Amino acid sequence: MIEFGRNELATDRILIVYLTRTKNTKAVAEMIKAEVGGDLVELELIDPYPENYQAIVAQVSKENDTGFLPPLKTEIEDLASYDIVFIGFPTWGMQLPPPMKSFLSSSDLSGKTIIPFNTNAGYGVGSSFDKVKELCPKSTILKGFSIKGGIERDGILFVMEGEKERQAQEEVKKWLNDLSLKTID
């Protein structure tokens, strides 16, 4: 059980959906799960993005320019059973990544509490948290969390280890506490 505000909530009512490329967002998702429980689901595409960084940047830029929403391989069959949905993603082109837009656009999250979290290359969330609010108009959106991850364009990929991991865990705990979302023993 967790305490959310003054109400207890079963941890099986929590979903943590994330998109990751360099595994930094996955690491933060796992930190959240360690604190509040819930189910982890990684978004995967039917047609995965290219491995080459410049190629993915070009493809994502084109998708953002045209509004293309890539089809998802991931399906969450019992989405209605969750009350709290954490949404995790990296910042791509200072925007919400197209696969996360696909998920939010195709999922009925009405009445749910949505909590965004983000990893980025040091430039912040851009317009991504605002886009989450726009795509979830019938949901309650709580304060998001953002932390610097790797800088893929510079070849710095997974960084959530050692001191950086410890720092991230402390920041995640503080953020969840600030949201009045904490584990109950």
* Segments making up each domain of the chain, as ranges: 2-183
Q: Using CA atoms, how far apart are residues 167 and 81, in angstroms rounded to an integer? A: 33
Is residue 87 within 8 A of residue 116, CB to CB? The reply is yes
Which run of H or E residues covers position 174? helix 162-178
pLDDT at 58 over 90: yes
pLDDT digits (tens, 9 = 90+) for 15-27: 999 999 999 999 9
Q: Cβ–Cβ contacts within 10 Å for residue 151, how many? A: 15
Q: Using CA atoms, how far apart are residues 1 and 8, in angstroms rounded to an integer? A: 6
What does pTM read for this prediction?
Answer: 0.92
Is residue 10 within 8 A of residue 1, CB to CB? The reply is yes
Residues facing 143 on adjacent strands: none
Q: Side chain identity at 109, as an amino acid letter? A: L
With cut-offs at 50, 70 and 90, classify the pLDDT of residue 157: confident
The average confidence (pLDDT) of the chain is 92
Q: Which two tokens stand for residue 46?
A: 């039917």
pLDDT given for residue 155 in this prediction: 86
Looking at 2-11, 74-83, 123-132, 160-169, which range is the least confident one?
2-11
CATH of region 2-183, choose from 3.40.50.720, 3.40.50.360, 3.40.190.10, 1.10.10.10: 3.40.50.360
Backbone angles phi, psi at 135, to 5 degrees: -85, -10
Q: Is 12 left (phi over 0), alpha (psi -120 to 50) or beta?
A: alpha
